[in-house]
Structure 1
Amino acid sequence: MRTSENHDETGASAAGPGSGLLVPPAWLVRTLRPQPTPVPKAAALRAAVGMGLPVAVGAAVGQSADGALVAMGALGAVLGDTADAYRLRVFNIAVPQLFAAAGLALGEQVHGHGWAAVAALTGLALVAGMMSTIGAVSSAAGLNVLLMAVIGAGLPFPPPWWRGPGLILLGAGLILAMALLAWPARSGVPERAAVAQAYQETANLLDAAGGADWSEARARLTRALDHAYDLLLSRRALAPGRSRGMSRLIALLNAVTPLVETAPAVHAAGGHLGAQLAAEVRRIAAAVANRTPLPPPAADGASATASAGPVERAAAAAVLHAHEVLAGAYEDPAAAPVPHPAPLLVRMRERTREVLLSADSWHYGLRLALCLGLAQTLVSIVAVPRSYWVPLTVTFVLKPDFGSVFSRAVLRALGTVVGLVLAAAVLETVPRGGWEAPVVAVLAAALPVVSRRSYGLQTVVITPLILILSDLLSHQGVHLLVPRLLDSLLGCAIVLVAGYALWPESWHSRVGARLADAVDDVARYLECAFTGGGADASFASSPPGAGPPAGPSSRAKLRRRLYRDLAGLRTEFQRALGEPPPMGARAAAWWPLLVAVERVIDAGTAAAVQTAQGAQPPQPAEVAAVAADLRALATAIRGGGADIAPLREVTEGGALAAVRREVAAARSALAGPGGDPEG
């Protein structure tokens, strides 16, 4: 397979072999590079108050240990305060911290019990690891229950047993209360902003039509759509009663689909309609964000589409539909389709069953249990002061949804070194008796800012925070620092050996398997768009190649699934690029084929839009041939590029000619120089 020449994606070094410069490897540069994100000012203020205030009050009343425990609870809530919608904030903060309190109570019961603690924490790691594969909230809950159990088993807590968990919940409740202060005045604002952002990113995609920034614009649009749908449907699941506001917003979000489907057709046509269409979509985005009326498009422009081509007619119809929904969205919510999720207990039972039967959940749970069991066994055999830091490091590093395990271990080690230097300065120079509170407040304010940018920067901040709070419990001062550094390096070593090097998948990229699934879904999309047939039920969870669903709604859902496939592929691709050789190089080799598959999806969507607007539809034989070629490509990807079947013979100049050209290009990318990317 051809390697990529895109330096931004593959991280090719700019310095040549004769430059005389010592250039770090591309995977390390990519690992250390922080991501640009907006500064969450409100979250920073909540963190500063929620952690600094308990430390100050505890010092003032002579209960520094209690103040530290409240601040620890606030720390967990700060890390979990990532949702925009207020109902989701309650869920995202409260549920993980309830698990954290339960974990601390369990850890206290096994403190000082040697092998009983090893067995209890290893079993809990298996459960927490399996929980982490369910979703974001379950992942945070699994992390918190294990972290606090490790701390409870490693540190002595004052009696009674419920005191520590109660103080943890008090700190989390303080952050939650501050996060919900604006709820009465801003209810529904985050959801409406997410819908408006989906329109805005659609306009950006139309602006990029015909240009080199198309792929990146589509990736941003996919993230915006995923965020908006997740936000609205999650709120709908938490508030099952009919809501006029949510019905309106769901109708507006659904109305963006025709515009999104039109964009590839505009791109294929060279983008000559892009700027004009993007300006109109931005007017709609502003109207959605500000809840203001918007005049419809000019009548002469609408009538002119009667003699226009398929792309122009599709664009006009999509804009008109959005205007019609916008005009009626705030007056006739009965017309807006509102999903009705299954009852919460039913969904919990289904998800639990899926986790218990999932090989991936058992796989991750066993890996986490193995690493934590080794760490806890080691500190039980070897006299390690404050031994909880070793399994604590293992838990932080071996997190499934935070990217590459190898990169996290490297960043954890580097971040701990820098964080310990900072902690040494604080513990050596800041006097006791309440003077720690301002330092805790400053570090806490920085935590939500850096957490969204880099795991390494998060480690730099969280290391001195935890050490200062631990010092309030143990009063060991700077004597904590060297043991903490050794413990962190030991925990990273356990993860790198037992959680990374010994697992076969660590040396093979998952990009190829996910790419093959996406190609199978492209075949299903084309069959759905041009021939229909088949059943429409549960297609989203059916395996690739299971037969095409029918109907326009199914086509739209399949297209959304394709865009999610692409977003997941890009995420997996970037994660794999952060791995050391040979993993990163193998992942980079998939880039040309990933781009080629994106072009196949665009060509297929453009053909479907043009056919819906009166263009000559493809013959069933042509659709079947293209779908068969795509499935053969998927099979070849799974097999490493060997024995790919020849292209089917189709009459030249068919309606899917552009799609066939892109399929041929994708096959060439797979069979080009370099061979099997996993070889």
Structure 2
Amino acid sequence: MSTEQIPSGRTRQHPLAPPAWLLKGLRPGTAPIPWAAVLRAAVAMAAPLAVGFALDEPEYGALVSMGALSGVIGDTADAYRMRILNIAIPQLFGAVGVALGTLVFGHGWLAVGALTLIALISGMISSIGTVASVSGLLFLLNAVVGAGLPLPRPWWTAPLLMTAGGLFVLLLTLLGWPLRGRQPERAAVAATYRALADNLEAAGGPAYEERRHQVTQALNHAYDLVLGRRARVHGRSPALVRMLAQLNVVIPLVEAAPAAHLRGRPLPPEIPAAVRELADAVEEGRTGAPVLDLPAAHTPAERAVDSALRHAASIVHLAEPDPYNVDDRLGRPAALRVRARRAVRDMMMSRASWRYGLRLALCIGLAQCLVSLVEVERSYWVALTVTFVLKPDFGSVFSRAVLRALGTAAGLVIAAAVLSEVPRGWWDVPVMMVLAALIPAFSAKGYAFQTAAITPVILLLSDLLNHQGFDLIRPRLLDSLIGCAITLVAGYLLWPESWRTRIGDRLADTVDDAARYVERAFGAQPQTEAGLQAARTARLQARRRIYRELSGVRSEFQRALTEPPPTGARAAAWWPLVVAVERIVDATTAARVRVNHGADPPSPAEVAAVTAQLRSLAEAVRTNETPVNAPLKPPSPTSGVLSPLHQELAAARALTHR
């Protein structure tokens, strides 16, 4: 039994070569440049400056552009309704933050205490979810700006202007909604079919597991968009009902893929080609009688793929699916008020929420105390740097600190040229158009590149407020380095959870979930039709939950792998077991599919033995701080539908053996 190799780039080819985690952070990403976002950023940030110069109020224009900057950074969603949340809600928190910061400006230690408390609240808010994380970030960032800059009075002027800038970005973003309102959701469903086609094409080969991971990500993204929109649409929208039906019907094909992979040989090319044809039909909205030319199916796995594909084709080409035959119990979100109440409760009761809030408050408090006791020019940049870097949900804190220092240095080179050569005034408008366009373009390439793009923009806007010109360059670099140092010491090294990989505990929980999944898949079946349907829905929910959890474990591993030793080394040691658990879940899904299409089910005793071994494995993962990759012991020969599962389980147990 082979295990997936550690991602390339972990070893150093030369003693003087830069570490792999740094090279990975400096390597440009392969994501395409979002040209629409590039155009929006250029217009959203340059237009306020032009209006400000026209009205002879350049400071007001700079504040509006500063608010637009946060909107540009937060404009990362696909669906238009999600964009409203991603931009509008953080803007409200940002307005409150800058108002509070303005009220304590120049009040010495009162400002230190206020920003420390705001940092605690910001950190706790950030633990709720993606939108809350951005909201907490903007809440603290704007509070730091308000407390560190002499903004226009009265106190409500800056919040109003900065909010106007963010809403201007939102307005530009929503201009395409009437023309392509449902296009993001439809494209996400079609992307799921295409990812599945690639997965089926790789069945039986070495690329299968990576393709299966891509299917999980595409499926999660599509469900988040479609179900999230249905939760906000009163009644049943026919278009959304159809998209949900097309998404639900892909699940049997996803489940059949592991069974096809375990055959050990590729599927006929007609099958992935047919799935790609379905993806085109979804994206183009085509209906009509499907035409399928598929090879004859003989084994249970082949019958599972054939049956699922034919059923998917019939639903995809159906003009109006029955709205009462669309099962959205697989993950439809609760009402907004219910989710808000749960989020607040979870935030207040979560140890992780309090830990992150305290870490952020400690770092911000230290930064503000330092600049209060020691004369530091443009001191608010120290706290700004801490806020940007200390975001564990955005990636490795250690690597972000180093990459931010490097990105800031690169951005200062651009800023130095702008501040020294470009006269202040109307020339700032075309310069801002160019610099702002670089933000979404560079953000797609990595964090260091994003920092390099944002730095000259912030410096240009700060100069319009402070009129310091080239003298801003040196303090900016010094303050950024101080902020990075505070984050590394007080926000990283002093907290063992930062540099001790947490993937072991989370992986152990996932193994326990795998045991429950096996019980649901092969437990006693109800005798009634309603009971069978309820059991099937519960099994599908368990499958989606565990694949989501495995996707999260992979992401956590990738994040830990970018840390320096010992965290990176521990994450690398856990990696083979992550892959082994994924294969256990795949083998369980494949076995259930084969039973559904004619194979003999396992005995209750065998199911109980497998679940007991999985729970024993989970306990071994919790007690082993670092696994020892012992030679894989050959599993005992078994027969029956669970034979592949026994083999994968034996391989996983060998990886935790000391």
Normalised TM-score (structure 1): 0.91
Unaligned runs of 5+ in 1: 535-548
Match of residue 293 from structure 1: 287
- Aligned mate of 2:109, from 107, 112, 115: 115
Q: Secondary structure of 2:392's match?
A: coil
Match of residue 619 from structure 2: 635
Q: Which moved more, 1:168-177 or 1:326-335?
A: 326-335
The 1:641/1:134 distance shift into structure 2, 3 A limit, reads: closer
**Could you tell me which amino acid in structure 2 is paired with residue 434 of structure 1?**
W
- Aligned mate of 2:20, from 23, 26, 36: 26
Match of residue 260 from structure 2: 266
Separation in 2, partners of 1:630, 1:605: 15
Q: Is the 8 A contact 2:199 2:208 kept in 1?
A: yes
Match of residue 582 from structure 1: 566
| Corresponding position: 1:278 with 2:272 | yes
Identity, % of aligned pairs? 56
Tell me how far 1:554 sits from its aligned partner: 1.6
Match of residue 546 from structure 1: none
The 1:9/1:670 distance shift into structure 2, 3 A limit, reads: farther
Tell me how far 1:657 sits from its aligned partner: 1.4
Q: Is the 8 A contact 1:367 1:499 kept in 2?
A: yes
| Corresponding position: 1:570 with 2:564 | no
Within a 5 Å distance, the mapping from 1:322-337 to structure 2 comes to 322-328=312-318, 330=320, 332-337=322-327
Q: Secondary structure of 2:394's match?
A: coil
- Aligned mate of 1:82, from 76, 81, 90: 76
- Aligned mate of 2:93, from 90, 99, 106: 99
Q: Is the 8 A contact 1:511 1:573 kept in 2?
A: yes
- Aligned mate of 2:583, from 595, 599, 603: 599
Tell me how far 1:8 sits from its aligned partner: 2.7
The 1:274/1:490 distance shift into structure 2, 3 A limit, reads: farther
**Could you tell me which amino acid in structure 1 is paired with residue 495 of structure 2?**
W
Tell me how far 1:60 sits from its aligned partner: 2.8
| Corresponding position: 1:456 with 2:448 | yes
Match of residue 653 from structure 1: 639
Tell me how far 1:126 sits from its aligned partner: 0.7
Separation in 2, partners of 1:611, 1:82: 43
Match of residue 666 from structure 1: 652
- Aligned mate of 1:319, from 297, 309, 313: 309
Separation in 1, partners of 2:644, 2:285: 41
**Which string of whole-angstrom CA distances, capped at 9 and with x for unpartnered residues, describes residues 145-169 of structure 1?**
1100000000001112111111111
Match of residue 158 from structure 2: 164
Q: Secondary structure of 2:7's match?
A: helix
Separation in 1, partners of 2:50, 2:430: 8
**Could you tell me which amino acid in structure 2 is paired with residue 602 of structure 1?**
D
**Which string of whole-angstrom CA distances, capped at 9 and with x for unpartnered residues, describes residues 446-494 of structure 1?**
1112113211111101111101000000000111111111110000000
Q: Secondary structure of 2:463's match?
A: helix
Tell me how far 1:426 sits from its aligned partner: 0.6
Tell me how far 1:237 sits from its aligned partner: 2.4
Within a 5 Å distance, the mapping from 1:15-94 to structure 2 comes to 15=13, 22-94=16-88
Within a 5 Å distance, the mapping from 1:222-621 to structure 2 comes to 222-273=216-267, 275-293=269-287, 295-298=289-292, 304-305=296-297, 308-328=298-318, 330=320, 332-338=322-328, 341-532=333-524, 551-621=535-605
Q: Is the 8 A contact 1:50 1:74 kept in 2?
A: yes
Tell me how far 1:439 sits from its aligned partner: 1.5
Q: Is the 8 A contact 2:236 2:323 kept in 1?
A: no
Q: Which moved more, 1:321-330 or 1:521-530?
A: 321-330
Q: Which moved more, 1:290-299 or 1:88-97?
A: 290-299
Within a 5 Å distance, the mapping from 1:136-215 to structure 2 comes to 136-215=130-209
Q: What's the RMSD between the two structures over aligned residues?
A: 2.3
Q: Is the 8 A contact 2:44 2:65 kept in 1?
A: yes
Q: Is the 8 A contact 1:3 1:589 kept in 2?
A: no
The 1:260/1:331 distance shift into structure 2, 3 A limit, reads: closer
Q: Secondary structure of 2:317's match?
A: helix
Q: Is the 8 A contact 2:521 2:539 kept in 1?
A: yes
**Could you tell me which amino acid in structure 2 is paired with residue 202 of structure 1?**
L
Separation in 1, partners of 2:135, 2:324: 37
Tell me how far 1:240 sits from its aligned partner: 3.6
Tell me how far 1:435 sits from its aligned partner: 0.8
| Corresponding position: 1:8 with 2:2 | no
Tell me how far 1:643 sits from its aligned partner: 12
Q: Is the 8 A contact 1:104 1:164 kept in 2?
A: yes
Separation in 1, partners of 2:534, 2:643: 23
**Could you tell me which amino acid in structure 1 is paired with residue 509 of structure 2?**
D
Q: Which moved more, 1:576-585 or 1:29-38?
A: 29-38
Tell me how far 1:34 sits from its aligned partner: 2.6
The 1:223/1:298 distance shift into structure 2, 3 A limit, reads: closer
Tell me how far 1:3 sits from its aligned partner: 13
Tell me how far 1:655 sits from its aligned partner: 2.5
Tell me how far 1:284 sits from its aligned partner: 0.8
Tell me how far 1:347 sits from its aligned partner: 1.9
The 1:641/1:359 distance shift into structure 2, 3 A limit, reads: closer
Tell me how far 1:7 sits from its aligned partner: 5.5
Separation in 1, partners of 2:625, 2:22: 29
Q: Is the 8 A contact 1:251 1:329 kept in 2?
A: no
**Could you tell me which amino acid in structure 1 is paired with residue 569 of structure 2?**
A
Q: Which moved more, 1:40-49 or 1:411-420?
A: 411-420
Q: Is the 8 A contact 1:622 1:650 kept in 2?
A: no
Q: Is the 8 A contact 1:210 1:271 kept in 2?
A: yes
Q: Is the 8 A contact 1:209 1:274 kept in 2?
A: no
**Could you tell me which amino acid in structure 2 is paired with residue 654 of structure 1?**
G
Q: Which moved more, 1:377-386 or 1:216-225?
A: 377-386
Separation in 2, partners of 1:643, 1:484: 44
**Could you tell me which amino acid in structure 2 is paired with residue 571 of structure 1?**
S
Q: Secondary structure of 1:401's match?
A: helix
**Could you tell me which amino acid in structure 2 is paired with residue 11 of structure 1?**
R
Tell me how far 1:57 sits from its aligned partner: 2.3
**Which string of whole-angstrom CA distances, capped at 9 and with x for unpartnered residues, describes residues 220-278 of structure 1?**
11111111011112212233432111111111111110000000001001243253321
Tell me how far 1:519 sits from its aligned partner: 1.3
Q: Is the 8 A contact 1:131 1:355 kept in 2?
A: yes
Normalised TM-score (structure 2): 0.94
Q: Secondary structure of 1:8's match?
A: coil
Match of residue 530 from structure 2: none
Tell me how far 1:329 sits from its aligned partner: 5.1
Tell me how far 1:506 sits from its aligned partner: 2.0
Separation in 1, partners of 2:107, 2:2: 55
**Could you tell me which amino acid in structure 2 is paired with residue 106 of structure 1?**
L
Q: Secondary structure of 1:590's match?
A: helix
**Which string of whole-angstrom CA distances, capped at 9 and with x for unpartnered residues, describes residues 599-643 of structure 1?**
212211111110111101111111111111111111001000799
The 1:298/1:112 distance shift into structure 2, 3 A limit, reads: closer
Q: Which moved more, 1:342-351 or 1:515-524?
A: 342-351
Tell me how far 1:9 sits from its aligned partner: 4.6
**Which string of whole-angstrom CA distances, capped at 9 and with x for unpartnered residues, describes residues 277-318 of structure 1?**
21111111110000112533558x59x54xx22111111110
Match of residue 131 from structure 1: 125
Separation in 2, partners of 1:128, 1:64: 31
Unaligned runs of 5+ in 2: 527-532
**Which string of whole-angstrom CA distances, capped at 9 and with x for unpartnered residues, describes residues 106-164 of structure 1?**
10000000111111111111111011011111111100011000000000011121111
Separation in 1, partners of 2:84, 2:627: 53
The 1:186/1:420 distance shift into structure 2, 3 A limit, reads: same
**Could you tell me which amino acid in structure 2 is paired with residue 234 of structure 1?**
G
Alignment coverage as a number of residue pairs: 646
**Which string of whole-angstrom CA distances, capped at 9 and with x for unpartnered residues, describes residues 194-215 of structure 1?**
0011111011100111111112
Separation in 2, partners of 1:331, 1:655: 35
**Which string of whole-angstrom CA distances, capped at 9 and with x for unpartnered residues, describes residues 536-555 of structure 1?**
xxxxxxxxxxxxx9711121
